[in-house]
Structure 1
Amino acid sequence: MRAVVAVLLFVTAAHAGLWGLFQEKQAAPDFRGILPSVSYAPFEGSAHPDVDNIPQIEKIRADLKKLSTITRAIRLYSSTGGVELVPPIAAEFGLKVTVGAWIDKNSDRNKREIEAAISLAKRNSNVNGIVVGNETIFRGEQKIDDLVELIKQVKKSVNVPVTTGEIWNIWRDNPELASSVDFIAAHVLPYWENFTDKQAVDQAVAMFQLLRDQFPGKRIVIAEFGWPSAGYNLRNAEPGPFEQASVLRNFVTRAEAIGIDYNIVEAIDQPWKFFEGGVGPYWGILDANREPKFAWTGPIVNENYWKLAAIALLVGILMSLPILRLEQPKIMQALLLSAAANGVGAWVSTVFAYWAGHYFVFGSAFALTLGLTLLVPLILIAMARIDEIAAIAFGHRPRRLITKSATLAPATIGENVAFPKVSIHIPAYFEPVEMLKQTLDAVSRLDYPNFECVCIINNTPDPEFWRPIQDHCRALGERFKFINAEKVQGFKAGALRIAMERTAADAEIIGIIDADYVVHPDWLKDLVPVFADPRVGLVQAPQEHRDGDRSLMHYIMNGEYAGFFDIGMVQRNEFNSIIVHGTMCLIRRSAMDMAGGWSSDTICEDTDLGLTIQQQGWLTHYTNVRYGEGLLPDTYEAFKKQRHRWAYGGFQIVKKHWRRFLPGASRLTRDQRREFSLGWLNWLGAESLGVVVAILNLIWVPIVAFADIAVPDKILTLPIIGSFVVSLVHFVALYRLRVKIKAGQMLGAMIAAMSVQWTVSRAVAQGLITEHLAFARTSKGGLSRMSIEFQAFWEAVIGVLLLIGAAVLIVTNSYKEVREIYIFAGVLVLQSLPFLAAVAIAVLENSRINSFAFWRNSAVRTAELIGLRPVTLPTVNTQSQPVASEIRREVN
């Protein structure tokens, strides 16, 4: 344990060291002067000024008192809606004011704005200029001639300089506009022109020089210069707190040195400017709480950096503590788990930083909260998978697993010696006759002296299905009991209850096998001795299939099943928390009676009974030795129906048993509660979350593509990608370590596993809104016909929509090149893979390549074409014909 503690301390120290190593610190020129002017809007919160955001005199006075310490003047953008209160209050603090008149297409509003601006200039001696319109030409809301007329109207009415605010290139390209104003108010915002923060100052100075050269003698003012502290990148332009501080400090220093008149946009962050894209609210040198966002002197640093580091380290430590409760964890196991825990801590810290550094209107706050809520279980699932990787790759070998070499010799169980009686129950419903005969024949060959077999056919009135089985049971001898039960209630569970009623009184162990299973002779001989321990209530053997070579689809399906039985079940067995499945299962009769027998209130009666037995405190054991083989589902449709039944039944079990997971509600151990909870979350939750997140992302696509709102990558999209990578590594690594199949079959198994995401999520959704669905038998044995319907229609629809969404994002982002949007598009592609996997298998099932004969013939033809084997020509058996000379000889 000391070694493990040392590992945890080492990882924590390394984590802290990384925070220290990556702490950002930038040098920039000190600025100790007073800014000549800053843009000011007296609005607060996220409401648009035109809606309901009327400024209050007390707030304006507090703002201007603070701004008077850092600037000599302010620039306004309108003269109505409460902004008219600003100039007289600014005079109280010695601030000059450049009044703005907001001009758009609304002529009535334009008139009010101009009249108010003129009035403010006449009544307030601290007004030093009027800006008529702000980027009005750029927005296309006024023609130049019309705007010039408005400017002339204002110039006639006031004694202060009058101009309009436009982007520098508008001035360059329209000299007639420049001739109509008293000075040129040029907006130079390098961010919007895709310049980097390192190029921003040079670009601004160059544009100033360009305008001064083009309009000699005209006063040139850079009326807007700034850099956002947050938001998305625009090609090479990266917003951020460090970038903002560096750009502004470098700019004001250069501007002061060469005598540039300038105005910084803007004084205070404006959360209501979300319509200007992700960067809109973040141009202020003060945040929305009126606190400075950076210092004008000294190195540029994040003052909250070590607070965030402390959060990351604290979360990492707390999430690492469960490692200490593991039973003798190995060093590499602890190292991987602790590293993952600290990685989650770093992500949590990033979430705190993002939440503290951004403003949210209701919609974005709701979307972010919903996204984070969905990510929490996703990260728990990823951590559970990392835990399983660490345990299997670096932990102890399984200790409770029953292996062939560790099977016990016959011993005393109860009052019987050596060979307690086993009653084997085989429920059947419209099963192929020859298949069921094979199952009964295999049972008759069991190398065990004391057993009976109860074969119950339920709700199958057609005598062609039950009469041959009845005759076959008679032929096999008195050990075999046949029951033909009609109008059975409760599906399979109801049939098994009837079988229990006909079970021999002295049978101490009940064996359950499906109608398609051919058991090995040593099944009972090897596993019944485990019940010598009176605490053991159940012993489970894995499922296996003997028809995996029927087609390529069945081959990969068989590989997918194997992962559950060779990986998950082996690990769960270590904590006495296996999932019971209703075949190849041996149950102590007294344990079954204590649990109340087979229940019909779920359609997964086997798992339900197994969990109840564990809740009663019985021990369960598992072996991964194959003691029998059954048949795979006939079709992909049957495969999906079976998975739907398992998922729906699993959700029923969650609803039925969740109270027993509360402290003291049952005899389940802490480890059992954890394994079952994480197991349900890992299976039902992961698949459902995948579909929910995919659909929500589809809904979000038009917002991202057309409303200039990017999904934050560090806290939302990158964790989704990380979880996908963890799932991929989990699948590949554990299959390679535990499942003895070839790489090609493993790849196919991965596709098969992904293909049922939609199926499982549908089952969970139906479990939320319904109480009971009918038991759907899995078609096996070749009786079922392939449906004429395409078996992955909805998967195809969603998968294609996700790909279209990704394409739309990429196309619409081709100009802006916002990195977060590209990452979001990548997430959509990843999320489409499970849906497309279903489409691939549905297509495969009906194609020639599903046949192994096709691949064998293709291999032979390829070898012949490249000369690796000689071409085999067809042989023609014909009688030899006489040549012409012989014919002539015979005629002569």
Structure 2
Amino acid sequence: MRAVVAVLLLVVAAHAGLWGLLRDKQKAPDFTGILPSVSYAPFDGSAHPDVDNIPSAERIRSDLKTLSPMTRAIRLYSSTGGVELVPPIANEVGLKVTVGAWIDKFSDRNEREMQAAIELAKRNSNVNGIVVGNETIYRADQKVEDLIKLIQRVKSQVNVPVTTGEIWNIWIENPELASSVDFIAAHILPYWEGFSDKQAVDQALIIYQKLRDAFPGKRIVIAEFGWPSAGYNLKSAIPGPFEQAVTLRNFVSRAEAIGMEYNIVEAIDQPWKFFEGGVGPYWGILNASREPKFAWTGPVVDPAYWKLAGIALLVGILLSLPILQLAAPTAMQTLLLSSAAHGVGAWVATVFAYWTGHYFLFGSAFALTLGMILLVPLVAIALARIEEIAVVAFGRKPRRLITRAMTDVQEKKQTAALAKGEPVRFPKVSIHVPAYFEPPEMLKQTLDAVARLDYPNFECVVIINNTPDPAFTQPIQDHCRELGERFKFINAEKVQGFKAGALRIAMDRTAADAEIIGIIDADYVVTPDWLKDLVPAFDDPRVGLVQAPQEHRDGDRSLMHYIMNGEYAGFFDIGMVQRNEVNGIIVHGTMCLIRRAAMDMAGGWSSDTICEDSDLGLEIMEHGWLTHYTNTRYGYGLLPDTYEAFKKQRHRWAYGGFQIIKKHWRRFLPGNSRLSRDQRREFGLGWLNWLGAESLGVVVAILNLIWVPIVAFADIAIPDKILTLPIIASFVVTLAHFVVLYRLRVKINAPRMFGAMIAAMSVQWTVSRAVAQGLITEHLAFARTSKGGLTLMSVEFQAFWEAVIGVLLLIGAGVLIASNSFRQIHEIYIFAGVLVLQSLPFLAAVAIAILENSRINSFQWWTDTRIRTAELIGLRPVTLPPAIPARQKVAQEIHHDAA
């Protein structure tokens, strides 16, 4: 434990050290003077001024008192809607005002604006100029000649300089406009031209010089220069608090040095400017709470940095505390888990910083909240998978697993006891084999294998239910007679309750002295040592159940079956082994041995779920019985015949699993059952990791698909650090989880592992559909998994909806990339990458559905292709058909002529 605590403290120290090391501190020229002018809009909140955002005199007075120590003048953009209150109040605090008249396509409004501006200039001595229109030519709201007429009208009625505000290139392209104004009010905003913050000031000075060269002797004012503190990038232009502070301090210092007249845009953040893209609300040197965003002197730092570091460390420490409750964790295991916990802590701090540093409309706040709600379980799933990686890769070896070495020791003890003449107890086992329309030859193989069991005290109850066709029943009844009195045959019709109903009938026909019930599916060929090896585990009276893994003997039937078998193996060699360590295995309805007393205590087979085996296993655990697992293969069944059957089987398991959650969730509350804390945790995380992960993956993919047109056409990007990057990180964790655990625990080669990964991904849509149906329905009919090769492939394509969603996700990614070619916003490219990743499970289903019906699904095709390739490149001599003897050749020619 000391080593664990030491590692935890080491990770905390390293995490704190990283925050200290990564703290950004940038140099910038100090500015101790007063700004000549800043843009000011008296509106508050996120409501648009044209809707309902009339400023009050109190708000304006408070704002101007805050601004008066920072600037000598303010620039306005309109003269109505409450803005007309600004000039007289500005005069109270000694501020000059450049009045604005908003000009657009509406002549009535234009008239009101110009008259209001003229009146403000006449009545307020602190008005030092009028700007008629703001980027009116750029927006194409007025023609140049028409705007000149408006400017001349205003000039004729006031005694202050009159101009218009336009982007710098508009002035150069329209020299007649420059001739009509008293001074040039040029907007130079390098962000909107895609220049980086490092280039911004140089670019502004270059343009300023161009204007001076183009209009010698004309007064030139840079009427807008600024840099946003948040939002998304535009090509090389990256907004941010550091970028804003350094850019403005550099610009002001150099502008003052050359005597430039300028106006900084803007004084206060304007959350209502969401229509100007992600950066619209963030141009102010004060935030919307009227607090300075940065200092004008000293190094540029984030004043909230250490608060964020504290949040990250606190969350990391809290998430690391459960490590102390693990059973004997190793140092490396602790290191990985604690590092992951602190990684989540850093993400939480990033979320907090984003939430407090941005302004949200209802829609964006709702979208972000929904995204966070979906990400919380995604992060929990990622942590659970990292924990499994840690315990398998760095934890202690399994201690409760029944291994071949343990059964060999037990066998030697039995042999020694028999040799000495000592009594050896062999409790009676009743093996139940339920069958429903199963191929007779396949079922015969199963029964023959049971007859070969190397165990002296067992019986076999074969129950065929709801199968009226004698072609399926009569051969099995005859075969049971041939195998002897140990085999009991039952042909039950009109059985209620699916497989569970049949097994209840089998229990009624079970020998009274049978202590252990064995369950095998109709396709399972057991090995002779199954009972001999595993029944001794019941010598411990606390043991209620022993489970052996499923395995399949037809994995070489096709490439599809080969990878399907590899996918099954992962569950039995990884998940079940780890769950066994906390007595929390999942019982599956074949290759399991159950103590009869435990079954009776749990209430026997129940038909209120379609996964009666897992349901019964959980009931047995809830009554306090011990369960054991072995990963030694003692039986070999058959894989689903088709991909359709594979998906139906997975749907049944997922739907049944959800039924079990609804049935048992109350027993997971403290004090409601004898389940241990570890068992509750294992089942809860297991359900979340399987049902939750698959369902969540589909929900997030569909929501992202819906969000594509908003991102592509409404200039709203997805924040990468808090929403999209965690999705990518979760995918990386899932990939690492699969690869690492398969390499460590599952004895298959790399190509088969890759195929197993595709098979595992391909059922995401299937599992999510099952969960959705579990939410809205109580019961679905039990769907038998077709095995034995008698089922023909469906003529329908088995991945239609997966193909639709997968293709739409790829199209969405393409649309995002195409629409982003000019803006080159990083978040949009990352979002497109997320869509591609999210398409993979759907495309995996499409790939398997195509594979099933293709020639390459046959191993013979691969063998022939390898031979042909070797012959073509000369590594193998070409195989020629054998020569036909002359007499045989003549006979063939005569036969051909006769035909």
2:396 paired with 1:389: no
2:766 corresponds to which residue?
759
2:371 paired with 1:364: no
SS at 1:457 equivalent:
strand
1:600-611 aligned at under 5 Å gives the runs 600-611=607-618
Deviation of 1:12 (Å): 0.9
Deviations 1:336-379 (A, max 9, x none): 11111111111111111111111110111111111111111111
1:243 corresponds to which residue?
243
Pair 1:626–1:45, CA change in 2 (3 A): same
Alignment partners' CA distance in 2, 1:829 and 1:591: 49
1:433-448 aligned at under 5 Å gives the runs 433-448=440-455
Alignment partners' CA distance in 1, 2:351 and 2:107: 46
2:69 paired with 1:69: yes
Alignment partners' CA distance in 1, 2:465 and 2:764: 32
Alignment partners' CA distance in 1, 2:493 and 2:546: 31
What letter matches 1:176 in structure 2? E
Alignment partners' CA distance in 2, 1:834 and 1:880: 61
Q: 1:504 aligns with which of 504, 507, 511?
A: 511
1:890 corresponds to which residue?
none
SS at 2:463 equivalent:
strand
1:48 corresponds to which residue?
48
1:310 corresponds to which residue?
310
Alignment partners' CA distance in 1, 2:542 and 2:49: 73
What letter matches 2:368 in structure 1? L
2:865 corresponds to which residue?
858
Pair 1:519–1:882, CA change in 2 (3 A): closer
2:420 corresponds to which residue?
none
1:398-797 aligned at under 5 Å gives the runs 398-407=398-407, 408-409=410-411, 418-797=425-804
What letter matches 2:314 in structure 1? L
Deviation of 1:44 (Å): 1.0
Deviations 1:363-410 (A, max 9, x none): 111111111111111111111111111111111110000011102358
What letter matches 1:506 in structure 2? D
Deviations 1:834-882 (A, max 9, x none): 0000000000000000000000000111111111111111013323699
1:325-340 aligned at under 5 Å gives the runs 325-340=325-340
Deviation of 1:116 (Å): 1.4
Deviation of 1:417 (Å): 5.9
Alignment partners' CA distance in 1, 2:309 and 2:587: 45
What letter matches 1:199 in structure 2? Q
SS at 1:841 equivalent:
helix
2:821 paired with 1:814: yes
What letter matches 1:787 in structure 2? S
What letter matches 2:789 in structure 1? G
Deviation of 1:754 (Å): 0.2
SS at 1:30 equivalent:
coil
2:805 paired with 1:798: yes
Alignment partners' CA distance in 1, 2:467 and 2:81: 80
Alignment partners' CA distance in 1, 2:610 and 2:565: 23
1:276 corresponds to which residue?
276
What letter matches 1:856 in structure 2? T
What letter matches 1:236 in structure 2? S
Alignment partners' CA distance in 1, 2:157 and 2:431: 104
SS at 2:610 equivalent:
coil
SS at 1:157 equivalent:
coil
Deviations 1:591-624 (A, max 9, x none): 1111111111110000000011111111000000
What letter matches 2:169 in structure 1? N
SS at 1:19 equivalent:
helix
Alignment partners' CA distance in 2, 1:59 and 1:596: 72
SS at 1:99 equivalent:
strand
2:99 paired with 1:134: no
Deviation of 1:324 (Å): 1.3
2:851 paired with 1:844: yes
Alignment partners' CA distance in 2, 1:132 and 1:459: 88
Pair 1:618–1:81, CA change in 2 (3 A): same
Deviations 1:411-447 (A, max 9, x none): 89xxx96111111111111111100111111111111
Alignment partners' CA distance in 1, 2:771 and 2:163: 64
Deviations 1:754-790 (A, max 9, x none): 0000000000011111111111100000111111110
Deviations 1:16-37 (A, max 9, x none): 1111111110111111111111
Alignment partners' CA distance in 2, 1:121 and 1:615: 84
1:205-354 aligned at under 5 Å gives the runs 205-354=205-354
Alignment partners' CA distance in 1, 2:144 and 2:551: 80
Alignment partners' CA distance in 2, 1:25 and 1:742: 50
1:8-157 aligned at under 5 Å gives the runs 8-157=8-157
SS at 2:594 equivalent:
strand
1:888 corresponds to which residue?
none
Alignment partners' CA distance in 2, 1:689 and 1:138: 46
What letter matches 1:795 in structure 2? E
2:895 corresponds to which residue?
none
Pair 1:881–1:760, CA change in 2 (3 A): closer
Q: What 5-or-longer segments of structure 1 have no aligned partner?
A: 884-892
Deviation of 1:84 (Å): 1.2
2:2 corresponds to which residue?
2
Identity of aligned residues (%): 83
2:203 paired with 1:203: yes
Alignment partners' CA distance in 2, 1:865 and 1:534: 67
Pair 1:881–1:279, CA change in 2 (3 A): closer
Alignment partners' CA distance in 2, 1:460 and 1:33: 94
2:836 corresponds to which residue?
829
Deviations 1:555-578 (A, max 9, x none): 000000000000000000001000
What letter matches 1:492 in structure 2? K
What letter matches 1:850 in structure 2? N
SS at 1:26 equivalent:
coil
Alignment partners' CA distance in 2, 1:862 and 1:627: 40
2:879 corresponds to which residue?
872
Alignment partners' CA distance in 2, 1:475 and 1:826: 63
- Aligned CA RMSD, in angstroms, stands at 1.3
SS at 2:197 equivalent:
coil
Deviation of 1:475 (Å): 1.2
TM-score (norm 1): 0.98
Alignment partners' CA distance in 2, 1:871 and 1:593: 68
Pair 1:496–1:151, CA change in 2 (3 A): same
Deviation of 1:106 (Å): 1.5
SS at 1:740 equivalent:
coil
SS at 2:868 equivalent:
helix
What letter matches 1:670 in structure 2? R
Deviation of 1:208 (Å): 1.1
SS at 1:569 equivalent:
helix
What letter matches 2:343 in structure 1? G
